[in-house]
Chain A
């Protein structure tokens, strides 16, 4: 199986870079974006397999990004990353087609397991 391409969208730059490095060590191909515009540019330039998306990034509604991703390619899976128990926006995200959500601080094993399941679903949807 080829490397899973991940786009990690989070405005906490230190968090994103540490997590990206940890995922790279686990053989994932990871790109990071700190805001919505950067995310959409990277996304169109090199579409990922899985997007890890913080819904509360400054300057752009994370739900809008999620909806745009699903319009562009519904097989791209999105994992919502949330720093707090914002049940409403997580529920809204799941309704808009997110694959799963994960709470911060994250457990790396739980995250990689969800990424792998999301990738499996993407491959299944494309076949």
Chain B
């Protein structure tokens, strides 16, 4: 591999991780903001001496909302933790559905901004495979991001998994209208992605805008 490729790949991977972290911190700050306002509201109500049945019911409602935000935060932390640990080793046994599920949770914010729904259509009994899950997440993110940028509002992207002919297939199927994008402002380095895909032993086919990634199935005994 050339130095240029390695540099480009490193840049794209750093950009990918940066975006995941930016989305995560933004989402976390939103949860914290709700918790802080809820706690502040309780404080204000106490200071005003609000009591009685209606106030008690509001206190309960607010504390439930705080619990809910904490649960949502914990869920997001779990996904980020799992995502981070996937980089511990180059190769490992993993479940493709789990790797995609955490990726979707971490990029959902970007899709929501454009009111684009990320829908999962996973084969439930997908076998555990052996490979490089971080690289697969990086590739899928790159193509998901391209779809999020080029699709109009209120669109949908289906992320599909299935086994076929000794391979695992990951499909990215956009549903919605495309919008004009200033290509010079948005980079899609297909050549780099293509080399990464080949390194992973995978292949990519496009059919009417839908992307089908196939990875040879090396069933993991881990």
- A105 vs B25: C-alpha distance when bound (angstroms): 12
Contact between A19 and B37, CB atoms less than 8 A apart: yes
- Write out, one digit per residue, whether chain B residues 178-196 have a CB within 8 A of any chain A CB (1) or not (0): 0000000000000000000
Find chain A residues with CB under 8 A from B65 CB: 14, 18
Find chain A residues with CB under 8 A from B146 CB: none
Contact between B40 and A12, CB atoms less than 8 A apart: no
Contact count band on B? 20 to 34
In-complex Cβ contact of B25 among A12, A21, A22, A84 (8 A): A84
A1 in contact (CB, < 8 A): no
Find chain A residues with CB under 8 A from B35 CB: 105
A106 in contact (CB, < 8 A): yes
B22 in contact (CB, < 8 A): yes
Contact between B44 and A25, CB atoms less than 8 A apart: yes
Find chain A residues with CB under 8 A from B62 CB: 18
A25 nearest CB neighbor, chain B only: B44
- Write out, one digit per residue, whether chain A residues 41-69 have a CB within 8 A of any chain B CB (1) or not (0): 00000000000000010110000000000
Can you give 6 contacting A-B residue pairs, CB < 8 Å?
Answer: A14-B69, A18-B34, A18-B37, A58-B115, A59-B114, A106-B37
Nearest first, the 5 A-B pairs at minimum CB distance are A18-B37, A104-B33, A105-B36, A105-B33, A84-B26
Q: A12-B34, A18-B65, A106-B37 are in contact. List 5 more A-B contacts (CB 8 A).
A: A18-B34, A18-B40, A22-B37, A83-B26, A83-B30
Question: Which residues of B are at the interface with A, using a C-beta cutoff of 8 A?
Answer: 22, 25-26, 29-30, 32-38, 40-41, 44, 48, 62, 65, 69, 112-115, 153
